[in-house]
Every structure is written in structure tokens, then in C-alpha cells.
A and B are shown apart, each in its own frame.
Chain A
Amino acid sequence: MDRERFEKLLADYLSGELSTPEQRELMRFVEANPEARAELAAYEQQEEHLTRYYRLKGERAAATGPEWLAQAQPAARPVARPWLRVALVAAALAVIALGVQVQRLYRSAVPTGDAALATVSSIGAGAFVLDGDKVTALAANMPVRQAQRISVPDGSYLALTLNDGNVVEARGGTQFTMEDVPDKLTFVLNRGQMWAHLKHKPLPKQFVMQTDRLRATATGTVFGVDDGLGGTIVSVAEGSVRVDCNGMTMMLEAGQSWNSRTGAPDTIPAESIDWSRMKENLESLAPKAKAAAAAEPALTIHESAQTTPTAPVAEIEDLIDLLPTRTTMFLDLRNLSGIVNQFNSSAYAMLWREQALKKWWSSIHGTELTDSITTQTHLREVMSIVRHLGGQCVVGVDSPDFIVLADCGANEEETARLLGTIVMDMAGGKFEQAQKIREYAQVAAKRLIVSSNPALTREVITRIAAGKGSGFAAADFNKKVRAAVGSKPQLVMAANIAPWMERWRKQDANLARRLDFTGLSGLENLIIAPGFTGGGGNQAARLGFVNERYGMANWLAEPAPMRGFNFFTADVHLFASAVIRSPRTMFFDWLNYLIGEQTTRQQEEARAFFETHNALFDAVGNEIAVGIDNPILPIPNVKVAIELARPSDFAREFDLLVDDFVERANAGKDVPVAERQEKQYQEFTIHTLHVDSWWWEPSWAYVDDYVVIGPGKTFVERSIDTWRSGVSIAHDQRLLRLLPAGASANVSLLVYQDVAKAIPVLLSTKLAAGMSAEQKKLIPDLGFMERFRAAGIAYAIARKQSIDLYFNTPSGIDFNLGMAAPMVANWLVPMGISERIDLYAQAEVALEDVAKAALDFQTKNGRLPSTMDELVSGGFIASKPVDPFDKLGKAQLKLIAGPAQGSIIIYSIGPDGVDDQGVLAADPTKGGSEGDVSIILPTLDGGPPKVRRPEGAPQNTTQAPAQQ
């Protein structure tokens, strides 16, 4: 490939306008040419910068609203009455005069944007004023003004002296702005930590530190606010501070700290104080902080490091004991209000406040949907009831029935009132109907009882009255759950699965085969006990088996050290590694399952294959690792590292397999289409299988008792480099911090991901590439995910009769929602498409009805109708049909003269909403497609009337609803 061709392909590739064959051509060239590869990488990085740069700039355009037009446009409609115009002008002048006066008064009281609110008294490595894309360095004695965004870089320090002589310190990594109004000075903390030393009294105005989660107000004290993903912590060293958070108000005294995430008192780590240059003021907090630092365990999550339980509440066991003995699933929410509070300060709640998401949700009319659901489900009232509950709640399920039992505590009356409001609303204000609903939901003996079956409600009320439980608390199921969770976490969800499995196995032989293969038929219970510690996900689940594991569930071996990491760089986006009990058994199980429904001959062939390559499977070791380095490359960048028990045996058997494949591929061909290649890289041999029709080349090498497989030679080379350099993901702090023992991966299964950065790119390159502008609108701007970016892991520890699963990620958002975002987008896009196709189908049916009426008209009158009115007045159709594509639902289908003498066109304006007089035919598969949906009569072939499609468009895309 010459330079000119390379540049042409590169240009189109960067613009996303390259065809698949051209893409292959480019990638082959790049693969073989290191210089071109480097050039491509540099351009790709530049693309990222350009996109980011212009996105920043473009925000200004999007923010411009129609208010600007007011300056230019004359009044939209001339005012018919001159006296009214005079009156309006007079009123406007009066308002303006009043406004000017008010503004003057306000300005005299409020500092202008230029007034200095503080001066820099001390500065560490640097601090900056961020103004759009302009960065200005702060220096000692420089003024800090109203609304300036101040950033103190990591490792730096900043102290400001306020105009009243008090001092505020900011730690490195802090961002804030100051807002000054007549009675209040507010520090709005975006992130980081600040200490206020308000010792010069009296303060001229209220002093407030505010974060997204809370507001701390002081009038003469020493206090600090630390805002991060894990919540906001307010600590008071001297005096007292009022904290407002989630509708609650509390006073903190000297020596106390409070955490918005846990909604509970807290201690602050020693390093939260050490950075302060006025730490003598903070002495009351120092001993606690140091003691807390000394006692803090090294690991963040493990079975032994479960969430600290809240204080046990005696009545929760009583509530559990009211559940029917036949309960197969239950939810124990022993601290419901605490969980709600924690959730409100978690990263999930922060996500909900994201402007980009709000904007997107509103753009797809989600706000109306949310409002409608909230109203229909009485969510506001339900949440109000939740806030009034005593904090304990149990949900029991005995399929298909369920029951919710909650302790109303001291709020019995208020709960009853709120429930009454919901019931009356549901009953439409009819008393009799309300009485019926009350059989399902009522408040009795300080308990809220809601069930799907009135008999169940009555059963529980009788038990409460008799003061006697059902005995469920002492049942085997509940006992096993209690033993498994050990302590008493705030939330337990448990399901007794064994009876379901038994039922399902009996119902369906095919399902039974699948359940046996997976080993799920041996499941006894599923227990989930998540903790909200760590700001997001720190969740654990246990799959408990009746006896020892079998089938797929038995593939995982007990924990063992994993070394497959060594072949993957820290840039890996997704990585999974498993320790397999016996690869031979695994392959055999899989094969047996696959051929289960095949013919006897196919089964024999498959078994023969397995027997022939028996030695290959026997040569495989215990670990299999898979990683995706960069999902935005146009080739599948998936690498696999398999541990080998007997590397030489594996190499020999694998060679035989590949040779056999090459021989078969080339059989009967004049020119070979497949060949094996070998290349020396350092002391290793990289083997490659080249097949003409494939645009990737499976390559592999044997390194350190592992076979490393990649989609091209370069990928294997990189793996060797990574392994040799020792700078792999195995040594990356992001992973090490998340691992159970804080150091090594000694588990049965581990999934690591760091995809937040890739998701917006994936959406814009892979998913959005083939979409129309209309479909693209359905994809949210996920750029903000970068701020939630945090690597996360899921790992499993397999034991004889159970598999325990753990999830650990700092924010929880990245792991849980990051993985789900592409799927959600994938789900939303077809929704948009289907809506359009539905409209198309409606138009098609309506047009065909009119066409049939027109043909009837022709039979009777000897000519086609010239207007739609003729069809209505002649009784051939009841009324003029509405055009489904008219968004207002007012416009009607049209009937006009056609291109040939005596012909007519009946048409709808089509998806683009533009009247093309029925000449252009719209394509139903394309969003916002140009053209109309039309029928021309008489038909050219004399057949029944059909909607016209553009050339090349599929002819049977839609299915008319009327025919369904």
C-alpha cells in the first residue's frame, strides 16, 4: 500500500466513513507496519482530543436560548387596540423604573462580582482560578472574588483570609467557589476538604459550607467539611455547627464528626487533619483520628470484613415469625429508613442529579413517564409512609402471594392516615370499594400489613392478636439463612430455591437437562446481603447447594493464586480469570450438553473428536484468563491466556489440530487459502494461522507455562512485553486495592473492569455508527461517566457446598450501570424504531382502506375520485382518515391527481413530516426518512393497491396492526 492510499484510508477511518473491506485492508497494513501503527495511534488520540475540545466549545451554542430574539423581533402579533399598547408600554416603563431602583438598592448591599471576598494568605505547590478553558495561577496576597472557581491541585494547599480576618484552609484536591449575599457567605465545595477557623467574633454574617449532600452552618467555630464519593463528613473541633441534610437538622458539638452517607456519627482519619497548617486548632479531633487510623483494617471487603451491623432491633424477629411457614423467599429490611438515607447519599443518588442524564431523560419524554408512574403508583405517598415507619420491614413471598409487614412505631396514626389517602384515591372516593382494598392493606396493632391475598392479611392479624408467631423464625430455611449471614446486616434477601428446582425439573424434561448441566438443580438457597459501605457497591451473595456441587457449578475450583494477569496491561478494560477444577471434565460436560439433542451419529463423531484430542485437554492446567484491552479498535481485541499443565504435550496436540484445519481448508483449492506462519520474537516463537477470508489472524505463543492467544501477532508480542516488564495489571494499584486480601488474587473467579471511559466511545463509534440522527438522539451523553470512573471487581470463592460472590467498587455506578449502559441504549434504540414502524404500518393500512374505497367509487362511477370529499359524500368512507404521521393528530391523508391522466395519488406526509406531494417514497427502515407514504391508482400491474417503497428498500418491513 502506498502512502497516498494509506492516507486516504486513514482519512476515512478517522471520519468513520470506511467500508468493512477497506477497514480490513487498513488494519492488515497497520499490523505489518509499526510506523503506520504509531501514526494511527497518534491520530486516534488526536481524535479523542478534538472531540473533547469541540464538545467543550460547543456547549456555548447549545446553551443559547430563544430569549436573544426578544432584542430583534417586532411583537409577534400586532396589537389591535392602540390604547392597550399605550397602557402596556406605560406598565413596562413603570416595571423597568422599579427594577432599576431595586437593582440599585441591591447593588448597594451586595458585593459586585469584582469585589474581593478574601485574599490568599498561604499557598502550597499552587492553586488556580478556573474560568472556562482559561486557567490563572493564584499567588500570595491575591484577591479571591465572588463566584470564581478555585482549584487546589493534589498535594498542594491553600489558605484564604476572609475580609473579617477569619481563615479558611483547603486541602490539595479541593475545588470550591465562594458566594456572597447580604446575610450569608457560602463556600460551595465541589469536592475535597476545607477547614474553617472562625475565631474572629462576632461574624458579620452567617458562614455556610455547602456540598451536594448537605449544608453546614456556623457562627463562630472551627470545623471542616470533607466531600468525596464516599459521602460528606462534617467534623467540629471547636464550638458547634448546624448540619442540614436530607430534610434532617442536627447540631454537632466540638469533637464530633458526622457522615452524610451512613447518616451516623463518624471518626475522621488522621491524615484528614495532618495536612492543616493550623492543626493546633483541631486538637480535640486529633486523638480520635489517630486511634481510628491505627485500628483501621487493611482490607476493604471480605467475608470477615462484612458491613458493621446496625444495633439489633428486638421486634424484627417477631415480624419474621409472623410470616407463613410456607414462605419461600423473604426480604429482611431491619433498618429501612437508614437504608433509604444511605441510598440518598450514595453515588446512585448523585447519578440521578447529573444534568446530562436529566436533559436526556427529558428529551425522550421520560419526565412525563416518571411523573405518570409516580402518580399511578402513589410513590410519593408510599415514600412518605416509608419515612414514617419505625425502621423494620419484612417482605415474605409464597408464590404467587406476598406479604409486607412493617413496624409503624410511634407513627401508627400518621401511617394509617397516609394509607387511607392512597386507598381512597385507588377507590375513586367510593367507600365500598375502599373497604375492599383495605382487606389487602391496613394498619393494625402498630404494624402496616400489605398483602396480595386478604386471607393472608387476616391470618397475620389473627396471629398478632393471639400474640403467637407462625414458627417461621425457627424453620430450617430461616435458621440456615441466619447461620450463613453470620452477623446481622441491615438487609438480607433470601430465597429457598430447592422446592422450585424440584418443581421445574418435573415440569419440563428439557429444562431439567439444562438445570442438571448447569448444576442449578442442586441449589438449595440464594442469599444476598449487600452493604452500602464504600459509597457504592460492596455486595455479597451466596449460592448454597443441598449437597456437593456438580455440573457447571462444580467447574470452579477452590481458591488458588492467579497468574494470568501477568499478560495484560493496566489498560485492560475487562478481564476475567477462573480457576477450573478439571478442564477435561469441563470440556466433556460441555460437549455432552451440546450433543445431547443431536443424532446418534453426530454424538459418536463428537465423542471420537474428544477421544482423538484427549491429550490436548489433559495438557491444560487450571487457570483460564480472558481480557479485552481496547474495545474501540476495529478488530476483536480479545486475548486469552491458558495455564498449561504439560506445555509440550499441548503444543504438539494443538499443532496437529491446526494442521488438520489448514489441510481441510485447502482441500480442493488450486491456491491455498490457509497457512500456518511462524515468527521469532525475542526467544519466543509466535505462531499464526492465516486464512484469506478472515480479517484477523489467530496468533499464539508459549510463555511461562501459559499459551497466550491473540487476534494478531502484535497482540501476542505486546503480551510478551507486558509479562517480561512486570508492569501488568497484576501490579496496578487500582486492582490491588480491590482484592480481598489487599495483595494477591487468591480466589476461584475474578472479573475486573474499568470500562467507564470506553462506554461513551463505544456508544459513539460502534453503536451509533449505523444509526440515523433520530436514533442517535435516544443515546444519552455519557461523558459524565468519566467522573464516576472507578475500576471494580467481582470475585467468587468456591467451597464444597457453596459459591460466595463479592462485588467491590468504590462508586458502584461504574460497575453496575457502566456495564448496563450499552444494553440499555441497545434496548432504547429499537423502541424508537418500532414506534416509527408502527406509524408507518398505521399509514399503510389507512391508505389501503382509502384505495379500496376509491376502487369501489370507480366501479360505481366509471372514474377514480378527484378529492377525498367525493369518497365521504358518496358514503365510501365514513370520514377523512387522520394522517398518523401528523404529530398534532389533525392533518388528514391526502388525495390528489396523479402523474398520468386519470390517475390519483393517495398519501401521508411520512416520517419526515414534509409534504412531498406523494412523489418521493419513504423508506420505513430509516429514521426521519425523506418522502411520503403513498399509493398510486390505478396500479401498473392491475393488482391490488400497495404502498410504494423506494428502490432497494425491503418490501415487507411492516406488519399492519389491523391484521394482527
Chain B
Amino acid sequence: MNRNKDDLELARDGDRDAFWRLVAPHRGLIFATALGMLKDPEAAEDLLHETLLAAARSIGSLREAPCLPGWLHTMTRNLALDMIRRQRRRRKVMAEAAREARVVPSDEWVQKEAWLTTMEAAIDELPEPFRVVLALKYMNEYSYEQIAEVLGISLGAVRSRLFEARKLLKQKTESLAQAREVDHHGS
């Protein structure tokens, strides 16, 4: 008996539990894609909810259960682009305010947590495809094959994109750490 098939049919008929069984395993995928595009975990969480709602509304258009990950990925991308367009101006203001509110503490205890701030800043500066591939790899623990399938690119492209992302991230974190060091000594 094909359970996925049944769940899909049930979901099309309006069965919420069946729909949830179908999409719940892909929350990480949606969130990773959203985070890769929006950079902001809170916005990504909003987008996750929005995507789930949109998916629930249009589940009737999904032909086969195996297409679900790609379908959700595309839907998340489109909704993220909408959101970026919609909120570009507001987000810019909010981001600046948030950056001002953020403190780079000099205390030894907080230094230990400094990597998180550095990481976030460095990842934010990466190009979008790199952010998406990193999120899929580290948040969802996807293999090369799974990433290739979801993004619709070759295995070689996954490998090189992932490594280029790591390389660029390393450069950025190192330069941010150096900048902090200079700031620290300077002050």
C-alpha cells in the first residue's frame, strides 16, 4: 500500500492530518531555504508558516508525492522573493536598528559567544546560493544527492558550491575576527 499516495489523496480532500504527515518532514528544508534567502531567523520562521499555509491551500496542484520537496522549495523561494520585495524598505530600517542594539561585548565570558555574532555577520554577507546550500547541509544534514535533487543541480555543482561557500565564509570570519581584534586593541 502506498501511504504517501494515500496521504496525498487525503490531503487533497482536505485532511489536515494527512497533509501534516506529508509536509512535516520537510519543515527543515523550507526553513533552510527561507533562512538562506532572508538571513533573518524570525523572518524565516514567518516564511515557514506562510509556505505551509500556501502549500495547504494549493496541495491540489501537486501531482505526485515524490515531487513534494522540489515543489516546496520552489514555493518557498517564490514567497521569499515576494517577502523581500514587500519588506525591503522596512527590513532595512529594522536591520539597522537591530545592528545598533546588538552589542559586541568585551567581557571574557561573552567573548566565548562572539563566534556566533561573527558567524552570523559572515554568513549574511555570502551570496544567496551559498547560504541556501550551507543551510541545507548543516541544518538539514542533507547529503550531496539530496541537495542536488532539491536544487536541481549536479553533484559536482553541489560539491563546488559547498566548498566555495566554506572557503568564502572562512575568509570572511577571519577578516571579521581581525577587525574585532583591531577594534579591541584600539579601544
Interface residues of A (CB under 8 A from B): 7-8, 10-12, 14-15, 17, 42-43, 46, 49-51, 53-58, 60-62, 64, 66, 68-77, 125-126, 128, 132-137, 153-156, 883, 886, 891, 909, 913-915
Known: A49-B115, A73-B16, A74-B14. A128 touches B110 (CB 8 A): yes
Known: A75-B14, A914-B4. A55 touches B139 (CB 8 A): yes
Q: Distance (Å) between the CB of A202 and the closest chain B CB? A: 38
Closest residue of chain A to B102, judged by CB? A134
A68 to B116, Cβ gap below 8 A?
no
Please give, as numbers and ranges, the residues of chain A lying within 8 Å of B102 by CB-CB distance. Answer: 134-136
B134 to A126, Cβ gap below 8 A?
no
User: B20-50 CB contact bits vs A (8 Å, 1 = yes)?
Assistant: 1000100110111001000001001100110
Give the 8 A-B residue pairs with the shortest CB-CB distance, closest first.
A61-B31, A153-B109, A11-B163, A54-B138, A54-B139, A72-B53, A66-B20, A915-B2
Q: Distance (Å) between the CB of A167 and the closest chain B CB? A: 23
Instruction: State A42–B171 Cα separation when bound (angstroms).
Output: 11
Closest residue of chain B to A886, judged by CB? B1
A61 to B48, Cβ gap below 8 A?
yes
B139 to A72, Cβ gap below 8 A?
no
Pick from A64, A74, A134: contact of B101, CB under 8 Å: A134
Please give, as numbers and ranges, the residues of chain A lying within 8 Å of B140 by CB-CB distance. Answer: 58
Known: A69-B20, A76-B14, A153-B107. A62 touches B138 (CB 8 A): no
Instruction: State A49–B166 Cα separation when bound (angstroms).
Output: 11
Q: Is B98 an interface residue (CB 8 A)?
A: yes
The tally of residues in B whose CB lies under 8 Å from a CB in A reads 60
Please give, as numbers and ranges, the residues of chain A lying within 8 Å of B138 by CB-CB distance. Answer: 50-51, 53-55
Q: Is B173 an interface residue (CB 8 A)?
A: yes
Q: Distance (Å) between the CB of B5 and the closest chain A CB? A: 8
A135 to B16, Cβ gap below 8 A?
no
Instruction: State A441–B101 Cα separation when bound (angstroms).
Output: 68
B101 to A136, Cβ gap below 8 A?
yes
Q: Is B162 an interface residue (CB 8 A)?
A: yes
Q: Assuming A60-B31, A156-B107, what are 16 further A-B pairs, CB within 8 angstroms?
A: A11-B160, A11-B166, A14-B166, A15-B144, A15-B159, A55-B139, A57-B31, A58-B139, A62-B28, A68-B49, A68-B52, A74-B14, A76-B15, A77-B14, A134-B101, A136-B101
Known: A49-B115, A125-B107, A886-B1. A69 touches B52 (CB 8 A): yes
Please give, as numbers and ranges, the residues of chain B lying within 8 Å of A134 by CB-CB distance. Answer: 98, 101-102
Q: Distance (Å) between the CB of B159 and the closest chain A CB? A: 6
B170 to A11, Cβ gap below 8 A?
no
Instruction: State A12–B155 Cα separation when bound (angstroms).
Output: 12
B113 to A135, Cβ gap below 8 A?
yes
Please give, as numbers and ranges, the residues of chain A lying within 8 Å of B27 by CB-CB distance. Answer: 61-62, 64
Chain B stretch 1-23: residues in CB contact (< 8 A) with chain A: 1-5, 14-17, 19-20
Pick from B52, B53, B56, B137: contact of A15, CB under 8 Å: B137
A891 to B1, Cβ gap below 8 A?
yes
A57 to B166, Cβ gap below 8 A?
no
Pick from B14, B15, B57, B120: contact of A133, CB under 8 Å: B120
- Chosen A-B contacts, 30 in total, with CB atoms closer than 8 Å, are A7-B163, A8-B159, A11-B166, A14-B163, A15-B144, A15-B162, A43-B166, A43-B170, A46-B170, A49-B119, A50-B119, A53-B119, A55-B138, A57-B135, A58-B140, A60-B31, A60-B44, A66-B20, A68-B52, A69-B19, A69-B53, A72-B53, A72-B56, A73-B56, A76-B17, A135-B113, A136-B101, A153-B110, A154-B108, A914-B4
Q: Distance (Å) between the CB of B167 and the closest chain A CB? A: 8
Q: Distance (Å) between the CB of A142 and the closest chain B CB? A: 12
Q: Is B182 an interface residue (CB 8 A)?
A: no
Pick from A14, A49, A71, A137: contact of B53, CB under 8 Å: A71
Chain B stretch 102-134: residues in CB contact (< 8 A) with chain A: 102-103, 105, 107-110, 113, 115-117, 119-120, 123, 134
Chain B stretch 151-183: residues in CB contact (< 8 A) with chain A: 159-160, 162-163, 166, 169-170, 173
Please give, as numbers and ranges, the residues of chain B lying within 8 Å of A68 by CB-CB distance. Answer: 49, 52-53
Q: Is B143 an interface residue (CB 8 A)?
A: yes
Closest residue of chain A to B163, judged by CB? A11
Pick from A11, A49, A61: contact of B28, CB under 8 Å: A61
Q: Distance (Å) between the CB of A123 and the closest chain B CB? A: 12
Please give, as numbers and ranges, the residues of chain B lying within 8 Å of A126 by CB-CB distance. Answer: 105, 107, 110
Closest residue of chain B to A7, judged by CB? B163
Please give, as numbers and ranges, the residues of chain A lying within 8 Å of B170 by CB-CB distance. Answer: 42-43, 46
Q: Distance (Å) between the CB of B34 and the closest chain A CB? A: 9
Q: Distance (Å) between the CB of A365 and the closest chain B CB? A: 18
Please give, as numbers and ranges, the residues of chain B lying within 8 Å of A76 by CB-CB distance. Answer: 14-17
A12 to B159, Cβ gap below 8 A?
yes
Closest residue of chain B to A78, judged by CB? B14
Please give, as numbers and ranges, the residues of chain B lying within 8 Å of A53 by CB-CB distance. Answer: 116, 119-120, 123, 138
Instruction: State A716–B133 Cα separation when bound (angstroms).
Output: 39
Please give, as numbers and ranges, the residues of chain A lying within 8 Å of B30 by CB-CB distance. Answer: 61
Known: A50-B134, A54-B135, A886-B1. A135 touches B52 (CB 8 A): no
Instruction: State A10–B163 Cα separation when bound (angstroms).
Output: 8
Known: A55-B139, A62-B27, A69-B19. A17 touches B119 (CB 8 A): no
Closest residue of chain B to A173, judged by CB? B109
Closest residue of chain B to A764, judged by CB? B141
B16 to A69, Cβ gap below 8 A?
yes
Please give, as numbers and ranges, the residues of chain A lying within 8 Å of B119 by CB-CB distance. Answer: 49-50, 53
A69 to B56, Cβ gap below 8 A?
yes
Pick from A15, A128, A883: contact of B103, CB under 8 Å: A128
Instruction: State A568–B166 Cα separation when bound (angstroms).
Output: 32
